[in-house]
Amino acid sequence: MESYAAVLNYAIPFFMALLLLEAGIAWWKGEKVIRSMDTLSSLSSGLTNVIKDVLGLTVVVVSYDWLAGEIGLFEIKSTWLVYTLAFIGLDFAGYWVHRLSHSVNYFWNRHIIHHSSEEFNLGCALRQSISGFVAITVFFLLPIAILGVPGEVVAVVAPLHLFAQYWYHTRLIGKMGVLEHIIVTPSHHRVHHAINKEYLDKNLSQIFIVWDKMFGTFQEELDEVPPVYGVTRPVRTWNPIIINFVHLWQLIKDAWRTKDWKAKFTIWFKPTGWRPADVKEKYPLSGIEDPYTYEKYDPKLSRAMQWWSWIQFTAVFLLMMYLFNNLAEIGAQQAILYGLFLVLCIFSYSMLMDQSRYAWAVELVKSGIGLVLIWTTGDWFGLNSFSPIATYALAAYFLLSVGVVYYFNTSEGGQKAKTGRLRTDSVTTL
């Protein structure tokens, strides 16, 4: 927990620097690849994911160390070859977990957040799941477990393998010559994020594109088919918590509503998007038939509200970094409470970004909880030891936030944009 949090002290500034570099280059080239609220939604999703990961809120049914100890046929030392094997093994496992996420209804819920942006930029890479409650990658690590690759090697390589998937989420890099035949490039991954029928569920590899070519899921980016990004059943929200569970909630509703008892159990394991016939007929859902005529989700927020949303994000980011750097002092149980409060903060300001009429009520609950925590303890998780003034400033921020959100909610809440709707010439029933 603490070691991963320490790594983030270096990883987060690095990712942010690359995101700013991409924005600067796009501005210099006169291209628009970033929308303010879309990017803020991506960054907010990244916060929820790292909070979950640092707090260890994922069930590991089988640990890799146990698996390697039980089935390992060899005992090999930590040489460069072992690290290479671990990297290739993780990439092989990553391909199959990724393919499963695109193929099975239940597992799509843990991946939809990554595809939910209707843009394609480095911010998209930060849209990572908090709805994957059970880790399944270990089951696809059987090959390297049999070879006896040590668990400590996998632990070192795993974050490197994850971070290496960040750079290719961009439209600013074209095709890369011979590398197109070896590794996943921005061109390959643009195809993967596109909803054009030619591109759906293609290029599932994470580092080495060879897996797609071996297993029949490769598709080259075509000059005559410009990628359109998002999901075929648009989420129409900036709220990362809602996005993380929107597909699961639909599965629950469909399983409850169907009269077919067999379907109540099989819906979870059917192909992604499958719905029981009776539910599909009675409760049709709209999806995108023609991606070129779809209008992106884009509520028209005032500049002031956008600035306030970024201020809210910054406050949550600073509170999160305080948590990560003081985990030992805060303690595990208190850290979970702290983390859940941060997720509530993100949910609250995302509601305002969506111009929800309930945003002020959620903000009232959030700030109320924050004030109660300060009032009952006289502190904010040990912040007084650094600066008592900071605790008072935080309390003042909670009070101010309620008033500001109420103002925006009443002055702009009725202006929710119609953009993001499915035009009649782009609609299909799913």
Same domain assignment for residues 18 and 139: yes
Report angle CA 57, 248, 341 to the nearest 5 degrees: 40
Judge whether 224 lies within some domain.
no
**Domain total in the chain:** 2
Using CA atoms, how far residue 345 sits from 105, 240, 241, 314, 379, in Å, is: 29, 12, 11, 11, 19
| Inside any domain, residue 248 | no
pLDDT at 81: 87
| Region label for 413, one of left (φ > 0), alpha (ψ between -120 and 50) or beta (otherwise) | alpha
Domain with 53, as residue range(s), is: 2-215
Does the pLDDT of residue 189 top 50, yes or no? yes
**For residue 117, which of 226, 207, 199, 190 has the smallest C-alpha distance?**
190
Cross-strand pairs, 135: 60
The residue from 162, 185, 215 where one domain ends is 215
Assess if residue 343 is contained within a domain. yes
Q: For residues 259 and 267, what is the distance between their CA atoms, to the nearest angstrom?
A: 12
Residue 389 within any structural domain of the chain: yes
Whole-angstrom Cα distance, residue 207 to residue 40?
A: 26
Domain assignment present for residue 256? The answer is: no
Better-predicted residue by pLDDT, 329 or 135: 329
Position 3 pLDDT exceeds 70: no
Confidence of residue 10 (pLDDT cuts 50, 70, 90): confident
- Residue at token pair 């090697």: 153
User: Which residue's structure tokens are 């596109």?
Assistant: 194
In whole numbers, what is the pLDDT of the chain averaged over residues?
91
pLDDT band at 4 (very low <50, low <70, confident <90, very high): low
- Whether the CB-CB separation of 34 and 117 falls below 8 Å is answered with no
Write down the pLDDT at residue 136. 83
Q: Is the per-residue pLDDT at 417 higher than 50?
A: no
Among 185, 215, 245, identify where a domain stops: 215
Specify whether 206 is located in the same domain as 308.
Answer: no
| Predicted confidence (pLDDT) per residue in 111-168, tens digit | 999 999 999 999 999 999 998 777 788 888 988 888 888 888 898 899 899 999 999 9
- Cα gap 173→398, rounded to integer Å: 42
What's the pTM value of the predicted model, to 2 decimals?
Answer: 0.92
Question: Residue 404 and residue 401: Cα distance in Å, rounded?
Answer: 5
136-150, 188-202, 309-323, 402-416: least confident range = 402-416
Largest CA distance in the chain: 68
Is residue 244 situated within a structural domain? no
DSSP class of 395: H
Q: What is the pLDDT of residue 378?
A: 92
185 and 312, same domain (yes or no):
no
Confidence of residue 418 (pLDDT cuts 50, 70, 90): very low
Residue 413 — very low, low, confident or very high, per pLDDT cuts 50/70/90?
Answer: low
Are residue 28 and residue 155 in the same domain, yes or no? yes
Q: pLDDT confidence of 278, banded at 50, 70, 90?
A: very high
Are 288 and 428 within 8 A, CB to CB? yes
Q: Considering the domain boundaries, does residue 426 fall inside one?
A: no
Name which residue leads in pLDDT, 303 or 6. 303
pLDDT value, residue 45: 97
DSSP codes of every residue in 333-390: HHHHHHHHHHHHHHHHHHHHHTT-TTHHHHHHHHHHHHHHHHHHHSSSTTGGGT-HHH
Q: Which of these three, 159, 185, 215, is where a domain ends? A: 215
Please indicate, yes or no, if residue 325 is contained in any of the structural domains.
Answer: yes
Express each pLDDT in 68-106 by its tens digit. Answer: 787 777 777 768 889 999 999 999 999 999 999 999 999
In this structure, the answer to whether residues 207 and 326 fall within a common structural domain is: no
Higher-confidence residue: 291 or 62?
Answer: 291
Residue 199: is its pLDDT beyond 90? yes
CB-based burial label for 320 (10 Å; 0-12, 13-18, 19+): buried
Q: Is 60 exceeded by the pLDDT of residue 419? A: no
How high is the pLDDT of residue 389?
93
